[in-house]
């Protein structure tokens, strides 16, 4: 019996005759289960957190090795002599995701090779140029598409003679135009020339604090305050890129050879075709010409124009300070974000966590700093936060990564709702933001929405802590940014703990303390029982015992600052 390898949800790739061998549970659809297709699922390490940690450590070694090779290759391609640090600022985010996405699929195929039998995969005929993307953001978005997933699996399978590749009659040649955004022309006369010595770009802190910092350094200009965002039109694919290689010689590592074979259609255009154009246009940018310090929370990640800018300014002596922007940093055993981001920054500031890395410093939760949330007098009900997770193998982390784990997660939420009193259930809302490439909404609709019709679902772009004033209690369903922000602001919140999450050993004791005082619950029934029993949430939350545990947690993980501008001013002055 032959086995048809299925690597995406595209129905045209299914076989009605042979066994459909699903490389992951994300390929399982209702069509397969309802229409009696014969299928098997390959088991892989998607939710094995210890295995993920091993893979991450291995990948980081690969990252460092490949980064050196990229430095040589890119310098040769552009005929320049730039440092490894310069290139890391530009390509770090893309390179790390490129390695995570390709290596996980490489490992899946390695497991498939151990299965006995005859295997083939159906793949559409692609003009591979459609996989050459403009920038870091569009590459990441594309890696969540069914076409890229099916194509990348077929390319990996081509490396082994055991697998047969069958091309379909579908031919994809047309390249989708990249989304156009404002400010494509750099010569924008609305913004004045900028001589600020402190450049604040997408720093997650309140506007008043930003104004105070600017005024403290005598540089506030209302025309420059919003710091313009820049985009460029798409670049034309050059013939030269098809000579680009990471390695000049064949490696002993077959995975590295595979990367070398696909790099010409995977490295974004902005790093090859766009390199000279972007550098020439930096002179037109209305950002500070000679900043001493640059502060950001997110622009160093996916804003490639900004990365070109900071690579140049750091070479000229500017300092880059990066601030934690979400909840997973350091706390998640499977997170390398703080390691990678601190490598491109002069200083990296956390929300409170300490680190052995020399340039990482504990600070405060920037998103809540200087804020106070006053509860409404008529506050009422429960607000449950639910998140979407990517369908295809995504970032290696402690969060949900397979359909099985998502279904277990939704089942826990179902159990929580089932065990809430009818009075509490009527007052419950679920905040859910659907991701177009996510897999939660399908399961959520099937198991929650149809069953609990009194529970209202909605999505607003407001942060949970901003909405908390209307509710008696926030219920988190993972160890999230919301949990840290609410505890920072001393807002009543409880968590239905996801057992997939692995906490850094240094911080386990603080989470254990929260579990002792009922902030963390590892069972949906336990959480429901606690909510039903406590008629006065504020009395429980503000009790001495609970506040003591919360303060300890706050001091070490999510510190609150009432006067953030003063602390930031000191940090900036030290750098000057």
Convert the pLDDT of each residue in 431-458 to its tens digit.
987 765 667 877 787 788 889 989 998 8
Mean pLDDT of the chain: 90
The Cα angle at residue 297 between residues 292 and 299, in degrees rounded to 5 = 80
Give me 372's structure tokens. Answer: 């106070």
The Cα angle at residue 236 between residues 230 and 241, in degrees rounded to 5 = 110
User: Mind listing the pLDDT tens digit for each residue in 404-421?
Assistant: 888 888 999 999 999 999
Segment 539-563 shows an average pLDDT of 97
Per-residue pLDDT, 192: 62
pLDDT score of 66 more than 70: yes
464 with 485: CB under 8 angstroms?
yes
Distance from C-alpha of 137 to C-alpha of 303, rounded to nearest angstrom: 8
Q: How many CB atoms lie within 10 A of CB 219?
A: 17
Give me 103's structure tokens. Answer: 């290596």
Q: How far is CA 553 from CA 356, 442, 478, 488, 518, in A?
A: 19, 36, 17, 9, 14
Per-residue pLDDT, 178: 53
Give me 141's structure tokens. Answer: 């978005």
Segment holding 146, helix H or strand E: helix 146-157
Strand positions, DSSP E, 139-276? 163-172, 198-201
In terms of Cα–Cα distance, which of 389, 392, 445 is closest to 22? 392
pLDDT category of residue 160 using cuts at 50, 70 and 90: confident
pLDDT score of 225 more than 60: no
Greatest extent of the chain over all pairs of C-alpha atoms, in Å? 76
Distance from C-alpha of 222 to C-alpha of 210, rounded to nearest angstrom: 12
Q: How far is CA 522 from CA 254, 436, 467, 541, 549, in A?
A: 42, 29, 25, 19, 18
Per-residue pLDDT, 190: 53
Burial class (CB in 10 A: 0-12, 13-18, 19+), 29: middle
Contacts of 145 (CB under 8 A, 6+ apart): 437
Segment 354-367 shows an average pLDDT of 96
226 with 261: CB under 8 angstroms?
no
Find which of 71-85, 223-237, 422-436 is predicted with most confidence, using mean pLDDT.
71-85
Q: What percent of the chain has pLDDT over 70?
A: 94
Segment 154-178 shows an average pLDDT of 80
473 with 493: CB under 8 angstroms?
yes
Per-residue pLDDT, 461: 77
455 with 417: CB under 8 angstroms?
yes
Distance from C-alpha of 547 to C-alpha of 559, rounded to nearest angstrom: 14
Long-range pairs of 413-417 with CB within 8 A, sequence gap ≥ 24: 413/384, 413/386, 413/448, 413/477, 413/496, 413/524, 414/447, 414/448, 414/451, 414/524, 415/524, 415/525, 415/528, 416/384, 416/475, 416/496, 416/524, 416/525, 416/527, 416/528, 417/448, 417/452, 417/455
Q: What is the DSSP string of 69-81?
A: HHHHHHHHHHT--
- The phi, psi pair for 436, rounded to 5°, reads -60, -25
> Any idea what DSSP says for residue 352?
B
Per-residue pLDDT, 489: 97
Per-residue pLDDT, 182: 47
């Amino acid at each position: 019996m032959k086995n048809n390898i299925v690597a995406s949800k595209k129905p045209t790739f299914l076989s009605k005759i042979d066994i459909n061998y699903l490389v992951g549970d994300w390929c399982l659809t209702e069509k397969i289960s309802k229409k009696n297709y014969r299928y098997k699922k390959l088991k892989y390490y998607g939710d094995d957190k210890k295995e993920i940690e091993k893979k991450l450590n291995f990948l980081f070694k690969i990252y460092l090795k490949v980064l050196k090779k990229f430095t040589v290759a890119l310098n040769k391609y552009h005929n320049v002599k730039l440092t490894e640090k310069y290139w890391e600022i530009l390509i770090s985010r893309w390179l790390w995701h490129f390695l995570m996405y390709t290596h996980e699929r490489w490992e899946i195929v390695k497991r498939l090779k151990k299965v006995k039998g005859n295997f083939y995969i159906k793949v559409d005929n692609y003009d591979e140029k459609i996989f050459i993307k403009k920038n870091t953001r569009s590459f990441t978005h594309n890696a969540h598409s069914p076409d890229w997933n099916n194509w990348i699996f077929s390319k990996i399978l081509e490396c082994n003679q055991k697998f047969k590749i069958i091309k379909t009659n579908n031919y994809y040649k047309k390249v989708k135009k990249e989304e156009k955004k404002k400010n494509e022309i750099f010569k924008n006369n609305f913004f004045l020339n900028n001589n600020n010595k402190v450049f604040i770009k997408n720093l997650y802190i309140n506007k008043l604090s930003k104004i105070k910092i600017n005024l403290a350094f005598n540089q506030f200009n209302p025309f420059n305050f919003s710091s313009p965002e820049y985009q460029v039109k798409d670049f034309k694919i050059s013939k030269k890129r098809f000579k680009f290689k990471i390695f000049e010689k064949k490696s002993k590592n077959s995975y590295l050879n595979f990367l070398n074979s696909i790099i010409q259609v995977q490295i974004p255009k902005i790093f090859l075709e766009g390199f000279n154009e972007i550098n020439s246009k930096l002179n037109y940018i209305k950002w500070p010409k000679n900043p001493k310090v640059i502060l950001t929370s997110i622009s160093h990640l996916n804003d490639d124009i900004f990365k070109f800018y900071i690579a140049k300014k750091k070479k000229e002596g500017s300092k880059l300070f990066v601030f934690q922007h979400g909840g997973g940093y350091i706390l998640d055993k499977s997170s390398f974000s703080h390691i990678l981001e601190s490598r491109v920054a002069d200083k990296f500031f956390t929300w409170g966590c300490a680190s052995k890395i020399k340039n990482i410093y504990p600070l405060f939760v920037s998103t809540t700093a200087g804020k106070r949330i006053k509860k409404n007098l008529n506050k009422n009900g429960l607000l449950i936060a639910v998140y979407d997770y990517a369908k295809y193998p995504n970032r290696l982390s402690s969060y949900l990564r397979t359909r099985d784990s998502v279904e277990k997660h939704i089942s826990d939420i179902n159990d929580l709702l089932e065990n809430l009193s009818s009075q509490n259930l009527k007052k419950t809302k679920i905040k859910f933001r659907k991701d177009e490439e996510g897999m939660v909404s399908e399961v959520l609709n099937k198991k929650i929405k149809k069953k609990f019709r009194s529970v209202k679902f909605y999505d607003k772009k407001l942060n949970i802590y901003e909405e908390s004033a209307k509710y008696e209690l926030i219920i988190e369903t993972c160890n999230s940014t919301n949990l840290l922000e609410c505890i920072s602001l001393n807002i009543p919140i409880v968590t239905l703990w996801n057992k997939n999450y692995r906490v850094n050993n240094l911080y386990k004791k603080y989470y254990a303390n929260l579990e002792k005082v009922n902030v963390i619950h590892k069972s949906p029934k336990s959480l429901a029982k606690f909510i039903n029993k406590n008629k006065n949430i504020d009395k429980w939350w503000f009790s001495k015992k609970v506040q003591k545990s919360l303060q300890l947690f706050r001091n070490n993980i999510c510190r609150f600052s009432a006067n953030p501008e003063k602390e930031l001013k000191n940090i900036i002055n030290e750098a000057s």
